[in-house]
C-alpha cells in the first residue's frame, strides 16, 4: 500500500534521527501525501503514524536534564506511558481491533466508536510516543527555522507570540491534559489544548488538526522537579523541543 510505504519511509527518517537531513530535502517528501488528497473530507485523518506498542526512547533518561530530570523521565516512560501501552493492548484485544489492518491513527480518528478505555489509553499511548520524539538535549535560544518559522510567523505574527499562546494553553488547561500546535484542514497553524489523554486527531475533540507539537501538562510530567510550578516547567521545556522533528510534521505549508 502506498500509504504504508510512505509511513515506513517516515518512520525510518525519524528513527534514524535524521529529521534535520529530511527537512533539508524539502517538507513535501515527508508526510503522507495520500492523506493530503483527502483534504475535502470533514475530518481527514492526517498526522504521524505511530505503532500500537511502545518504542524504545531514542535518548537516555538523563538526556533532557536539567529541563526534565532523569527520575521523571524514567517513571514517566517506564511506568505511566508503559501502562497506557499495556491498557491499549488490552482494549484492542477486548474490542477486536485488527491492528494489522487498522492503524492507530485511523482508530483515533474514529475513537467515538470505541470504549472510554480505548480513548484514554489509545490517546495516552499515542500522545507519549509523539511527545518523546519531539524532544532532544537542551539548547539556549532554541527556535525553529525555514518553512516552519515562516508558517508560525504568518499565523501568530511572531515566534514569541506563538510561544506565549502555547504556554498559556498549557498553563490554563485545568487539571490534566495537553497543549498542542496543530495544522488545521485549511493549513492554518492553531494552538489549543485537550483534556486528559484526548488529542486533536480524535473525532470527539473540539481541537482538530494534524499535531505538530504537543506538551504533556499532567502533574506526573513535571511534579518531581517543579512541584506545583507548571509555568516554570513549560518555560524551561522550550529548550528541549526538537524543531527539526516538528518541521518534518509540517506538510506543504504553501
Ligand atoms: Mn504523561
Distance 37 CA to ligand 1 centre (A): 33
3-state SS string for 202-227: CCCCCCCCEEEEEEECCHHHCHHHHC
Q: Please identify every residue whose CB atom is under 5 Å from ligand 1, which is an ion.
A: 216, 218, 221
Question: Is residue 143 exposed (0-12), middle (13-18) or buried (19+ Cβ within 10 Å)?
Answer: middle
Whole-number Å distance, alpha carbon 24 to ligand 1 midpoint, is 31
C-alpha cell at 128: 507519549
pLDDT digits (tens, 9 = 90+) for 95-128: 999 999 999 999 999 999 999 999 999 999 999 9
Q: What pTM was estimated for this model as a whole?
A: 0.84
Average the pLDDT over 155-166 and give the result. 98
CA 120 to ligand 1 center in whole angstroms: 12
Q: What pLDDT band is residue 204 in, cutting at 50, 70 and 90? A: very high
All structural domains of the chain with their residue ranges? 70-248
Closest by Cα among 147, 91, 97 to 124: 91
CA of 220 to the centre of ligand 1 (A): 6
Please compute the mean of the pLDDT values over residues 221-234 and round it to a whole number: 98
* CATH class held by domain 70-248: alpha beta
pLDDT in tens, 43-60: 556 789 999 999 999 999
Q: How far is the CA of 175 from the centre of ligand 1 (A)?
A: 13
Q: Could you tell me the distance, in angstroms and rounded to a whole number, from the CA of residue 137 to the centre of ligand 1?
A: 19
Q: What is the mean pLDDT of residues 1-15?
A: 39
Residue 113 in 3-state DSSP?
helix
Is the pLDDT reported for residue 23 higher than 50? no
- How far does residue 254's CA lie from ligand 1's centre (Å)? 33
Amino acid at each position: 500500500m502506498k500509504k504504508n510505504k510512505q509511513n515506513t519511509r517516515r518512520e525510518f527518517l525519524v528513527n534514524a534521527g535524521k529529521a534535520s537531513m529530511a527537512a533539508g530535502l524539502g517538507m513535501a517528501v515527508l508526510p503522507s501525501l495520500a492523506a493530503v488528497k483527502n483534504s475535502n473530507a470533514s475530518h481527514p485523518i492526517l498526522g504521524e503514524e505511530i505503532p500500537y506498542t511502545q518504542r524504545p526512547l531514542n535518548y537516555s533518561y538523563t538526556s533532557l536534564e536539567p529541563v526534565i530530570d532523569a527520575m521523571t523521565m524514567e517513571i514517566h516512560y517506564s511506568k505511566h506511558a508503559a501502562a497506557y501501552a499495556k491498557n491499549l493492548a488490552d482494549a484492542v484485544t477486548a474490542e477486536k481491533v485488527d491492528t494489522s489492518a487498522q492503524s492507530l491513527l485511523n482508530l483515533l480518528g474514529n475513537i467515538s466508536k470505541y470504549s472510554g478505555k480505548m480513548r484514554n489509553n489509545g490517546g495516552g499511548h499515542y500522545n507519549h510516543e509523539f511527545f518523546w520524539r519531539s524532544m532532544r538535549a537542551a539548547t539556549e535560544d532554541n527556535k525553529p527555522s525555514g518553512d516552519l518559522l515562516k508558517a508560525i510567523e504568518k499565523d501568530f505574527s511572531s515566534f514569541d507570540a506563538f510561544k506565549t499562546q502555547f504556554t498559556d494553553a498549557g498553563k490554563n488547561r485545568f487539571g490534566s491534559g495537553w497543549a498542542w500546535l496543530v495544522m488545521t484542514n485549511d493549513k492554518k497553524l492553531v494552538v489549543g489544548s485537550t483534556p486528559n489523554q484526548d488529542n486533536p486527531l480524535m473525532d470527539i475533540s473540539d481541537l482538530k488538526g494534524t499535531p505538530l507539537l504537543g506538551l504533556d501538562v499532567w502533574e506526573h510530567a513535571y511534579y518531581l522537579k517543579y512541584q506545583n510550578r507548571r509555568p516554570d516547567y513549560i518555560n524551561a521545556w522550550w529548550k528541549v523541543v526538537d524543531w527539526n522533528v516538528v518541521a518534518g510534521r509540517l506538510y506543504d505549508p504553501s
